Amino acid sequence: MNINTNYLNLNESYLFSTIASKVREHAQANPAAEVIRLGIGDVTRPLTPAVVEAMQQATAEMAAAASFRGYGDEQGYGFLRQAIAEYYATKGVTLHEDEIFVSDGAKSDLANILDIFAQDNTVLIPNPVYPVYVDVNTMAGRNIVYMHGSADNDFLPMPDDTVQADVIYLCSPNNPTGAVYSKAQLRQWVDYALARDAVILFDSAYEAFVQDDSLPTSIYQVDGAERCAIEFCSLSKTAGFTGTRCGYTVVPHALVRGGVALNKLWLRRQTTKFNGVPYVVQRGAQAVFSPQGLAQAKTDIAYYLENARIIADALEQLGVAFTGGRNAPYVWLQCPGGMNSWAFFDALLEQANVVGTPGAGFGANGEGFFRLTAFGSRENTIEAMRRIAACKLMKT
């Protein structure tokens, strides 16, 4: 028996587990401290009335023999896939229902999708970015090539013709930097992928936060993307589903590699390894896409974006450089006085009882940066920024 030694190449724990355990230790050592958590991007607004009502009704259905449901449809219930297709139609994107796969969230699918790709593919990953992309490819022992984001390219790395890649992860709006690719930039990525027969894995988990109408919210808004991209989205941040769990993955029929439709491979994978999202949750998800549900979700998104504005204003007054926060729920700031990001994390926790996420946790290029989330309550966001402004640390 041999273990998968690729696991030995990972950091000892997942970024957000490391943060949670540091915060637990701090709280134990300082029981009176009122810690404000702006670290992991976990929502604080409750599920909206449209969602709750739909889930209550679905629960009642499950309680009666005549309306009870067991195993659901393979790719997710038709009612939800139809609602998602209609949502895409409002973006000018036409999807067939069987191109949509309902999932328990983007994270799992962004990892599981690797099952359908050969082991010897080279994977291109932005740096900094959501750490799951790197971790899951490290677990699988795949060759990773990084593309570098920095203030010089607004944290939006562009294709480099000298780099050969088979699988490309893109995240827009970006976690952690809040940067958003323009349509012209995505056009270049699609052209690069098509020229190489590569596949783009496009994480659009934060698409609902895009306010600027000229920015794309789906890669399929770029012609030809249906021949080279798989899109992953989630209701976690759009509609407060971090604990409820529902997302979806789009695998277009036109996406064919080695003569095989990837949609067929993914269907085969999912039907074998996944039994779907609970009926009650899928009814709640359907309600997110109703006119009422969309309006209620929009109100919560506006609430979080107002938090982002409060964070941004406070940083501006402190003279701290930052990006993000306008079309994304994250603000990405430069650590003061050239501090390294874990040292800044420790000092902020110690001096202000405020938790953020060290940029280095998102890749080497995140060193010297720090992420604050806008997903806190208004009260906590204001208080956190007051404490940060008062901190000795910020005066270095």
Residues of this chain that interact with ligand MLT (CB under 6 A) are 40-42, 107, 130, 175, 236
Question: Across the strands, what pairs with 373?
Answer: 330
In the 3-class helix/strand/coil scheme, how is 261-290 assigned residue by residue? EHHHHHHHHHHHHCCCCCHHHHHHHHHHCC
Q: CB of 373: closest distance to ligand MLT in angstroms?
A: 6
Q: CB of 383: closest distance to ligand MLT in angstroms?
A: 20
Is the CB of 41 or the CB of 325 nearer to ligand MLT?
A: 41
Helix (H) or strand (E) holding 169: strand 167-171
Closest residue to ligand MLT, Cβ-based? 41
Decide: residue 65, CB within 10 A, 0-12 exposed, 13-18 middle, 19+ buried. exposed
Is the CB of 39 or the CB of 276 nearer to ligand MLT?
A: 39
Q: CB of 242: closest distance to ligand MLT in angstroms?
A: 7
CA–CA gap between residue 99 and residue 263 (Å, rounded):
7
Q: Could you identify the residue written with the tokens 């309306």?
A: 67
Is the CB of 85 or the CB of 230 nearer to ligand MLT?
A: 230
Is the CB of 193 or the CB of 230 nearer to ligand MLT?
A: 230
CA–CA gap between residue 353 and residue 340 (Å, rounded):
18
Q: CB of 361: closest distance to ligand MLT in angstroms?
A: 9
Is the CB of 175 or the CB of 270 nearer to ligand MLT?
A: 175
Q: CB of 189: closest distance to ligand MLT in angstroms?
A: 22
Phi, psi of 95 (to 5 degrees): -125, 145
Q: CB of 299: closest distance to ligand MLT in angstroms?
A: 21
Is the CB of 107 or the CB of 283 nearer to ligand MLT?
A: 107
Phi, psi of 219 (to 5 degrees): -70, -20
User: Which residue, among 188, 183, 186, 193, has the nearest Cα to 227 in the 3D structure?
Assistant: 193
